[in-house]
Amino acid sequence: MSNVTRRTFNKLLGAGAGAMAMPGLLRAQGRKNVVIVGGGAGGATVARHLAEKAGGAINITLIEDSEKYTTCFFSNLYLGGYRDFASITHGYDRLVNDYGIRKITARAEEIDRTAQQVRTSTGETIPYDRLVLSPGIDLMFDSVPGYSRELAEIAPHAWQAGPQTQLLKSKIDELKNGDQVVMVAPPNPYRCPPGPYERVSMIAHTLKSRGLDDCTIVVLDPKDKFSKQGLFTEGWEKYYPGMVEWYGPNIHGGIKGVDVKAGTVETDFDTFSGALLNIIPAQQAGSIAISAGLSDDSGFCPVDAETMRSKRDENIFVIGDASIAGAMPKSGSAANSQAKVVVMHLMGDLEDARVFPARYLNTCWSLVETNDGIKVGAQYANVDGAIASTSSFISQPDESADIRRQTFEESVAWYDGITKDMFG
């Protein structure tokens, strides 16, 4: 829509003046500049919805490192063989061609908050009136002694989707009967609280369907409880009896370190060997948010509950995994919801549009076994300066197979919806 408007506008002007020079000039003059760093669940949603609302009145620049975005959501279903890789990978073509968004494929290297500009790895300097950061997470490799970025090529984390996810899948496919998989789960806070446990289910599903029932999956967890625990453990008992062993800190006593080449994880209690190690380290906000001075001691960025504006800089919004969003978990669904609050405030700041009380939403679906989906979710609002839950739901352990199938089908429709909502 914005594209059509802009084209028509340019054509009208082109009739009288130096047609070639005008569009660039127009871009520079008058219109406000919004720069978005990160084209994932948060950033792509801001780009698309802002373009729709602003209808060409705002210059939108999306700085994203990758040509294509592979969603972490449903990457476990790819591991389980329910999805192919292409179906979880999305391009930016429609955002560029249909929504008139400028996509720069580069890293944002530095943010100059005084001059209000972003420098990219391709050497460009992009000025902004408002900046939105949705850079996701950085993995703190050294939170697991012995692990490193390089060793992730042998023991994948697959907690940022893409080649890592494909590597993990190929390693799962190479397993033989009797092999053991050892997962080191991440400490709080991390992206997608049910994610590690959905992954366990999907790995078990793959092994079981290949007849490798003597395989085991050991989860060494730094947490003493986890998201949807009752539902997952019920599912593991029902579908994968004897295959999954979960150890909390009360049992393993602490994860001491990993020897990736030897294929072992050492804990206080014992040393665990695996033919495949899946190490998911601790996490912090994407480094660009930290180097811009927007984070606190937790490694994540404090934001205003009503607007998602950084508490350190009123011209910058931080959303998604990088933000401290009160009771909201770090999820694609949460990032997408926060993006909409930000778009409303960008339109309020720059175009004097009306603003309304912020509402937020999260839903996290997980697949335990074919047609057995579970879900958890909540609505949130600004309650006395903090994002707090106002109503919620969670699947129940005794639900019928029909409800579980319906939940799985909803999750498929949700995936379809959220990726269209992000990429057009």
Partner 1 sequence: MHDSHRKHRETDGGGGLTAHVFRALGNYKIWLFAACGIFVIPHFSFADKAAQPPIPDLPLGEAIGQVLAMPGDAEYGAYLATECVTCHQQHSVNHAIPAINGLPREYFVEAMLEYKYHLRDNSVMQAIIGSLGMEELSALATYFSTKD
Q: Would you tell me which residues interact with partner 1 (CB under 8 A)? A: 49, 178-180, 216, 219, 224, 228-230, 233, 236-237, 242, 244-248, 250-251, 253, 263, 268-273, 275, 333, 336-337, 340, 343-344, 354, 356, 359, 361, 363, 375-379, 381, 389-397, 406, 409-410, 412-414, 416-418, 420-421
The binder of 288, among partner 1, ligand HEC, ligand FAD, none, by C-beta within 5 to 8 A per type, is ligand FAD
**CB–CB of 44/423 below 8 Å?**
yes
Other beta carbons less than 10 A from residue 290's beta carbon: 18
From its phi and psi, is residue 307 left (phi > 0), alpha (psi between -120 and 50) or beta? alpha
What 3-state class would DSSP assign to 359? strand
Q: What residues make contact with ligand FAD under the rule CB under 6 A?
A: 37-43, 63-66, 69, 72-73, 75-76, 107-108, 134-136, 159, 191-192, 195, 199, 286, 288, 320-322, 330-333, 335, 364-365
Residues in a beta bridge with 388: 381
The binder of 42, among partner 1, ligand HEC, ligand FAD, none, by C-beta within 5 to 8 A per type, is ligand FAD
- Distance from C-alpha of 53 to C-alpha of 375, rounded to nearest angstrom: 31
> Closest Cα to residue 307, out of 132, 62, 55?
132
Give residue 74's identity as a one-letter amino acid code.
Answer: F
**CB–CB of 85/166 below 8 Å?**
yes
Token pair listed for 215:
């395989």
Outline where DSSP puts E strands in 73-178. Answer: 89-91, 102-105, 108-112, 117-120, 125-127, 130-133, 137-140
Give the one residue of 69, 414, 415, 423 binding ligand HEC; rule: CB under 6 A. Answer: 414
Nearer to ligand FAD, 75 or 419 (CB): 75
The binder of 295, among partner 1, ligand HEC, ligand FAD, none, by C-beta within 5 to 8 A per type, is none
What 3-state class would DSSP assign to 420? helix
The binder of 75, among partner 1, ligand FAD, ligand HEC, none, by C-beta within 5 to 8 A per type, is ligand FAD
State the minimum distance, in angstroms, from the CB of residue 263 to partner 1: 8
Give the one residue of 164, 278, 323, 363 binding ligand HEC; rule: CB under 6 A. Answer: 363
Contact set with ligand HEC (CB under 6 A): 361, 363, 410, 414
